[in-house]
Structure 1
Amino acid sequence: MKPIPGIRILLVDDEPHILQFLELGLVNEGFEIRTAPDGMTAITLAQQFNPHIVILDVMMPGMDGFEVCRMLKKSGSEVAVIMLTAKDEVDDRVKGLTIGADDYLVKPFSFDELLARIRARLRNQFPMMFGEVAIGPFKIDDRRKEIIYNGQVLELSPTEYELLKYMVTNHGIVLSKATILDKVWGYDFGGEENIVEVYVRSLRDKLGDKEHQLIRTLRGAGYRIDLS
């Protein structure tokens, strides 16, 4: 797999030589890397760095990897977590997967194996970073920031693009205004929820959805895109 620009990986381990080894190898593969020597630093860095993948050691003093994973997943971000454990015990693996970890590796491991796990997680959880994705009548190209609907390229502002992409990739699911604001505008957005209505109205115009059959409004609940 060719390097994909903009992939961010956070490495969390209390052993400096492991951090250095992984950082050097992953930087050479074209990834953007940050490192954290403990759990609290990892949580702070994750909020600032917004990584696609966190490679997380289980056994750390203070806040262990399980608690870090739990907090990362609770934040609602789409981050993929690969946990590292020095013990090949089923209980550790089950606990990690139960709290939301996406994969695990047992130490010692080969760098090539870690790289393969990273690539698998990227393809599974961030498929749009690999080019055009077809979803019903939509084609979304995240690298070009372009959405095609029924063969026609839509003229979208950056925010319209992010909103439509979010709604299409979550088609069939009711999305509240609060959820949309958090995912599209960001958790620190200080404006009114009515901004969502304004953008949905604009998207309906551009999609020719006069009857609201594509983007449906569910009173008191939010919006849902129906593709069937």
Structure 2
Amino acid sequence: MKILLVEDDKQVADALSEALRDRNYVVETAQDGTEGLELAKTFTYDLIILDLILPKLDGITVCQQLRSSGNRTLILMLTGKDTSDDRVLGLDVGADDYVVKPFDLKELLARIRALLRRQETTLPPILEWERLRFDPNHYEVKYNEQLLQLTPKEYALLELLLRSNSRILSRRAILDNLWEFEDPPEEETVKAHVRGLRSKLKNAGAPANFIENIYGVGYRLNPNV
């Protein structure tokens, strides 16, 4: 899951980013509304955490512009203002939830999980491909009923491939989805993670080409295995 955090308070941004990364979210940050809006329009995120009071462009305006352009990404608004008018305004312009500072971190993380579950209500709880079973609720992957021990990045890569449903993903697309914009690795890193994931799948009995390499294009789960 990839989250955009738009927050100008560095202490809040650093603490929240660290907590989210500890829970295997990919987090990108912006320190003003203009930068946040540009990132939100350029890249795909599962959730945007958006402060209300921001330099250059406030959170209400950012939210309005995203919604008016057809962007339906989940938005959780943060603010130090605790009045019903502010909450109503944030929700009226298209925010999906609203949390007041100072917030309890455990409660905020629970609200984030709830929003992301809402996004996934139309998706099957168990993802399957051939003899592979992927349970996103329990971070469990099995092939032929054999449990696979995956790294967080291998797990995220496999989930991305499963949700792409045989659509070919370029290395750049995989980097954009699984790593942070500010410090992405080289594309060869994707190749290394694919190789590691293939090895673990093969050891569990999957065909060597379970993850198919379309030369010069990218990767997908092989529809013909």
1:110 corresponds, among 77, 95, 104, to 104
1:82 corresponds, among 76, 90, 95, to 76
| Structure 1 Cα separation of the partners of residues 36 and 166 of structure 2 | 34
1:12 counterpart = 2:21: no
Please tell me whether Structure 1 or Structure 2 has the larger radius of gyration of its CA atoms.
1
Deviations 1:61-87 (A, max 9, x none): 321000011112223233110101101
Give the structure 2 partner of residue 158 of structure 1: 167
Q: 1:68 to 1:130 in 2, by over 3 A?
A: farther
Query: Where does structure 1 differ by over 6 angstroms across 4 or more consecutive aligned residues?
Result: none
Alignment of 1:141-152 (within 5 A): 143=159, 145=162
Q: 1:10 to 1:130 in 2, by over 3 A?
A: farther
| Structure 2 Cα separation of the partners of residues 126 and 78 of structure 1 | 14
Give the structure 2 partner of residue 94 of structure 1: 88
1:36 corresponds, among 30, 34, 47, to 30
Gaps of 5+ in 2: 128-134, 137-158, 169-225
| Structure 2 Cα separation of the partners of residues 62 and 45 of structure 1 | 15
| Structure 2 Cα separation of the partners of residues 25 and 100 of structure 1 | 26
Letter in 1 for 2:82: D
| Structure 2 Cα separation of the partners of residues 21 and 157 of structure 1 | 37
| Structure 2 Cα separation of the partners of residues 81 and 130 of structure 1 | 23
Q: What is the deviation of 1:126? A: 2.6
Letter in 1 for 2:21: V
Give the structure 2 partner of residue 56 of structure 1: 50
Q: What is the deviation of 1:108? A: 0.3
Letter in 2 for 1:97: L
| Structure 2 Cα separation of the partners of residues 145 and 92 of structure 1 | 40
Is the 8 Å Cα contact of residues 58 and 84 (structure 1) preserved in structure 2? Answer: yes
Give the structure 1 partner of residue 204 of structure 2: none
Q: 1:49 to 1:129 in 2, by over 3 A?
A: farther
Give the structure 1 partner of residue 113 of structure 2: 119
Of structures 1 and 2, the one scoring higher in RCO (CA 8 A, sep 6+) is 2
Is the 8 Å Cα contact of residues 81 and 102 (structure 1) preserved in structure 2? Answer: yes
Give the structure 2 partner of residue 196 of structure 1: none
| Structure 2 Cα separation of the partners of residues 109 and 30 of structure 1 | 21
Deviations 1:209-228 (A, max 9, x none): xxxxxxxxxxxxxxxxxxxx
**Could you tell me the percent identity over the aligned residues?**
42
Is the 8 Å Cα contact of residues 52 and 78 (structure 1) preserved in structure 2? Answer: no
Deviations 1:153-195 (A, max 9, x none): xxx8638xxxxxxxxxxxxxxxxxxxxxxxxxxxxxxxxxxxx
Task: Name the SS for the 2:28 alignment partner.
Answer: strand
- When the two structures are aligned, how many residues end up with a matched partner? 138
Letter in 2 for 1:63: L
Gaps of 5+ in 1: 1-6, 134-140, 147-155, 160-228
CA RMSD of aligned residues (A): 2.6
Q: What is the deviation of 1:50? A: 1.2
Letter in 2 for 1:124: R
| Structure 2 Cα separation of the partners of residues 130 and 107 of structure 1 | 35
Q: TM-score, normalised by structure 1?
A: 0.55
